[in-house]
């Protein structure tokens, strides 16, 4: 179980690090194509990675969206066979239209072990922290 937990944490670390440096290729490569996404600031669920990639590109074009840093704390991993649930608090620094802002959120990412042994994210749920 420890090796599995370590592998899941490594996958989560890579995903968070890519997000924090606005490396969209590495970030989206951490998700399975069929991954789903629930974000509190969107009015709909994104049904797959391609939909999220399109939304991300829209944010960049329309809003000048850029992630400048991301910190992950209060991390937990629950392993259930070939599925693992990663939860954490996340503090994200972003720039929108050149204006810096910091978001404080909670996030759940569900990972699934792939046939080749890699852990890919298959679901992400982001919630705002209560005030």
Q: Is 1 a residue whose pLDDT tops 60?
A: no
Q: Say what the pLDDT of residue 105 is.
A: 98
Q: What is the token pair recorded at 126?
A: 């982001």
Q: 38-60 pLDDT, tens per residue?
A: 999 999 999 999 999 999 999 99
Instruction: Please say if the pLDDT value at position 66 is more than 90.
Output: yes
Going from N- to C-terminal start, the domains of the chain cover 2-128
Give the C-alpha separation, 13 to 90, whole Å.
12
Which numeric CATH code is attached to 2-128? Answer: 3.10.450.50
Phi, psi of 60 (to 5 degrees): -65, -50
Over the stretch 72-90, which tens digit does the pLDDT of each residue have? 999 999 999 999 999 999 9
């Amino acid at each position: 179980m420890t090796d599995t937990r370590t592998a899941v944490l490594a996958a989560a670390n890579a995903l968070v690090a890519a997000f924090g440096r606005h490396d969209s290729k590495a970030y989206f490569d951490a998700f399975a194509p069929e991954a789903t996404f629930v974000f509190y600031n969107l009015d709909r669920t994104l049904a797959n990675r391609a939909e999220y990639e399109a939304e991300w590109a829209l944010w960049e074009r329309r809003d000048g969206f850029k992630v400048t840093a991301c910190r992950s704390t209060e991390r937990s991993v629950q392993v259930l066979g070939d599925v693992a649930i990663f939860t954490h608090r996340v503090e994200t620094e972003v720039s929108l239209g050149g204006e810096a802002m910091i978001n404080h959120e909670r996030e759940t990412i569900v990972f699934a072990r792939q046939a080749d042994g890699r852990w890919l994210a298959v679901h992400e749920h982001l919630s705002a922290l209560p005030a």
